[in-house]
Amino acid sequence: METVTCLHGFSQHGNTWDEIAALVPGERRWLTPDLRAPTLAGQEAEVLSRWDREGVERSHLVGYSQGGRVALWLASRRPGRLLSLTVLGAHAGLDDGARPGRLAEDCALADRIEREGVEWFASHWAALPMFAGLARRGPAFLARLDAGRRRNDAAHLAATLRGMGAGATEPFWDRLGGIDAPALVVAGAGDVRYVELARRLRDAIPGAELALVPDAGHAAHLEQPVAFATLLARHLAAHR
């Protein structure tokens, strides 16, 4: 049976993929690990270890945001382990001009999480404009996401920001040409900055396809799960 491995975004857990797994038709094994390492290489090692324990030689790999960076990194370094690649709201590191400012922001946020705790962070993160579209799912859905954020440990969130936040990640765009798995790059159509980054990824990964999810922002798989699941199902089916 084919395996699909899904990598979550910052402050999330593997269960945020449960809805997508239920919407994609067909018999597949879904691995949705909770990634804990605070570095890109560490999370890559966690995924590879999970595959080895589960006897997975090759897997479809799906990643969102921070998990998308991990997926791109792994795909560029271990292309033989992938059946296909799908990334959503992702990039391969910020350009040098943008990195120092973002690193300072990430470190400042890490410091504040350590000072004020997860309760403060959960409210702060949910209020960011990039997640405004999640309100379309209603209060019960938002409450489940909030509960997941509050399950985090402040020290772990801070370490992750410092170790593999967007500012801490060394750009690896030059490695993407080595990805030989069929790739689908997705962004929410309303997530303007990441639409531009998605186009750059499409051009950097040989043969990659680009798809935009209508009426969706950064977390398109959570805002419009049916639309995203449809895109993913087609990609998986085309590259069995």
User: Do 14 and 36 fall into the same domain?
Assistant: yes
Over residues 167-201, the pLDDT tens digits come to 999 999 999 999 999 999 999 999 999 999 999 99
Percent of the chain with pLDDT over 90: 98
User: Do 70 and 133 fall into the same domain?
Assistant: no
Out of 163, 188, 219, a domain closes at: 163
User: Do 176 and 155 fall into the same domain?
Assistant: no
Which SS3 state, helix, strand or coil, does residue 213 take?
strand
pLDDT at 115: 98
User: Do 39 and 129 fall into the same domain?
Assistant: no
User: Do 60 and 178 fall into the same domain?
Assistant: yes
Note every long-range contact of 199-203, with CB atoms under 8 Å and residues 24 or more positions apart, other chains counting: 200/91, 200/173, 201/72, 201/87, 201/90, 201/91, 201/92, 201/176
pLDDT at 45: 98
pLDDT at 40: 96
Mean pLDDT of the chain, nearest integer: 97
Alpha-carbon span 96 to 122, nearest angstrom? 30
Number of domains the chain is built from: 2
Over residues 121-176, the pLDDT tens digits come to 999 999 999 999 999 999 999 999 999 999 999 999 999 999 999 999 999 999 99
> Residue 96 above 90 pLDDT?
no
For residues 236 and 28, the answer to whether their CB atoms sit within 8 Å is yes
> Residue 116 above 90 pLDDT?
yes
Alpha-carbon span 90 to 141, nearest angstrom? 23
Alpha-carbon span 134 to 215, nearest angstrom? 11
Q: Read off the tokens for 14.
A: 């593997």
User: Do 227 and 189 fall into the same domain?
Assistant: yes
Q: Which residue range(s) make up the domain with 69? A: 3-93+170-238
Over residues 34-66, the pLDDT tens digits come to 999 999 999 999 999 999 999 999 999 999 999
For residues 134 and 142, the answer to whether their CB atoms sit within 8 Å is yes
Q: Model pTM greater than 0.85?
A: yes
User: Do 80 and 194 fall into the same domain?
Assistant: yes
E strand residue ranges, 111-192:
183-188
User: Do 16 and 132 fall into the same domain?
Assistant: no
Strand 209-213 to strand 183-188: parallel, antiparallel, or no bridges (unpaired)?
parallel
> Residue 71 above 90 pLDDT?
yes
The single-letter code of the amino acid at 99 is R
Out of 148, 163, 178, a domain closes at: 163
pLDDT at 240: 84
Q: How far apart are the two ends of the chain, measured CA to CA in Å? A: 10
pLDDT at 160: 98
Q: Which of 181, 208, 125, 206 is nearest to 5 (CA)?
A: 181
Q: Which residues, including other chains, have CB under 8 Å from residue 50's CB and lie 6 or more apart?
A: 5, 31, 33, 56
Q: Read off the tokens for 206.
A: 């040989």
CATH code at position 41: 3.40.50.1820
Query: If you average pLDDT over residues 67-94, what whole number do you get?
Result: 97
> Residue 29 above 90 pLDDT?
yes
